Chain A
Amino acid sequence: MKVRVKFSKYGAVRFIGHLDVMRYFQKAIRRAGIDVAYSGGFSPHQIMSFAAPLSVGYTSEGEYFDIEVNNYTGKEDFLRRLQTAMVEGIDVLDVMPLLSGEGNAMASVAAASYLVSFRDESVLPVFWQEELVKFYSQPVISVRKETKKGEREINLKEGIYEMEIRPGIPKKGQEQVPEKEIYLLLNASSGGNIKPSFVVDVFFKTISYELPSFALQVHRLDTMQDMGSKEKRKLVPLIWEK
């Protein structure tokens, strides 16, 4: 049986890269004594699929992976066991058994929501908030983007599903609550993934302001799948009310 696990990442562990987080969970699942399924062959490995990788330095409260288990002992027992094997900065938030036919975490990802704040808000140009509203209200945001096939022109607006300024909220492991932060809902599908830092960089470039290096703090709120139709998107978190 396949189960989907939701976890958070905050504090020092935000500097652990995606591959190392995968290795960490493989070992954690063994420590937790979860009856996990292994692939056959001479070097058996856990059958695991991670949703959208999180960049090094980002925090998150909406990370997911799927894992095949031989024996699912129920939500409460599973969460308790796995949480006992965690380090500070990674919490297991939720678990849900998947039905056959429900696609794996990686393939399901359609979008992700973020909060972007500034390490030092005082360096920003005074009118940045008004400018941001103007920026997002453009019907087309044309930018050049590096892709695997080389640089090409894209309409960034198509990949930004929502963008607004919100008052800052406290987050685990963050020392200061920012005054303002930018909420972003972005395309995170394998074909059209948009990085939040890219959007913010493009915005500040359009108002001719050079952001200092490492100015941004990015927090992922959730990772979502699209349960709507071709005509109308319906974004739902990867663990959802069935």
Chain B
Amino acid sequence: MTTIFKLPDLGEGLPDAEIREWYVKVGDEVKIDQVLASMETAKAVVDVPSPRAGKIKKLYGQDGDVIITGQPLVEFEGNATEDRPDGGTVAGALEVGNELVAETAVVATGKTQTTQVKTTPAVRQLAQQLNVDLNHVSGTGPQGMVTAADVRAFYEGKTTADQTRPATAHGKTETIKGLRRQMAISMAAAHAEVVPVSIVDDVIIQFKKEEVTERMIRAIVYACKEEPALNAWFDGQAGQRTLHSDVHLGMAIDSEEGLMVPVIKSVQDKINDPAQLRQTINEYKELAQSRRFAADQLKDATITLSNFGRFAGRYASPVVVPPQVAIVGVGRFAEQAVVVNGQLCARFVLPISLTMDHRAVTGGEAARFLAALLKDLST
């Protein structure tokens, strides 16, 4: 390539052309095909592109000058080759960056401090369904993994641990399972944590004894509104208390196997329809016999009702199960001799026992709660 670019024939043997306008000046770096000037011929105005890349050294004329076809138009600097930085490849275009970055890579050691609970995906799914925290389940499978049986056992209180006999057993010794085992575990845990205080009282009722459960529920809802401190969860470790607006009522129901406590969620919304409430209670009683409650029917109670007086017992100190802070008990009710307006008469009397966790509930709150209970029950 020569360094001097001569004016090409801009069309069909035109002898010359006039420079209308330069688009470049001396010193400019131009690219191939970049327009150098606009030239006017006898026929047309034509843009003249650069035949090469390079730096303009000289322009052979000014605006308005006439250049003869074949005569020099533009001179480029240097020798006839383009100046290209070494792209460093024969194919493609590498992105070149100059950012200095630190090397963060560390040779891996193949060791780790923390690990996941070892179990299979299927068992993880089962644990999710049963709302079992795998971290609390001890594993008996290969490599110490948690098996599905371990999860179910934790959920139902079963165990496949070794059975041990006390040396001086006289009767038939069995390892407790199922609900009985669950009871042993949760009662022990509650005892370890809760500071229980019980208050008891009586109330003369005017409703039929068949309606006791529904009226108790209604009364609890009323009392929770009056004294919300007993419809709460308490976390002793974290020192946190959660007051609930919903009343999720745990209903202690006895079955052949033992005690179950299904939960009627948001029972405050259900007390206006006594028939519906009755039906729900009956369903729960049936389900308790077959123990076919779903996992989420057994959890999240905010306060519990225990109708313990079916056979005997007037007053009791039922156990508060954390994170709840209160449990209401109803003993055996019967017609009793009471004094009303100075006259001796027979009336149905309901013995009410209230146990609360004194870490979370004050005596005054408990008393007010109880008073509200009695007030509602007496109507």
Task: Indicate, yes or no, whether A interacts with B.
Answer: no
Q: Give residues in B with beta carbon < 8 Å to A.
A: none
